[in-house]
Amino acid sequence: MKYLALIAALAFTGSAYATDCVECHEVNLEEHVEMEATLGTCNDCHGLADAHDVDMEMHSEELTITECADCHELSK
């Protein structure tokens, strides 16, 4: 199960530092700033919640895409 292996890898790296999304995704930041993307709206367009467990004690719905990038590497 490739998918389960990925989840295991995520759990492992996640314990040390905020995951660099860019290892698996390339986010067009400019485009997302224009769309005014926040954590509360990701799921309008994506299956973020299906693919990832975002700890809502650590994150809030108001976080903007540029704020995500402060902690997570979103693009190269």
Total residues contacting ligand HEC by CB under 6 A comes to 37
Least separation in angstroms between CB 4 and ligand HEC: 10
Q: Could you write out the three-class secondary structure of 36-49?
A: CCECCCHHHHCCHH
Cα-Cα end-to-end distance for the chain: 28
For residue 55, which amino acid is it?
D
> Which residues inside 43-62 make contact with ligand HEC, applying CB under 6 A?
44-48, 51-54, 58-59
> Which residues inside 8-27 make contact with ligand HEC, applying CB under 6 A?
9-10, 14, 18-19, 21, 23-27
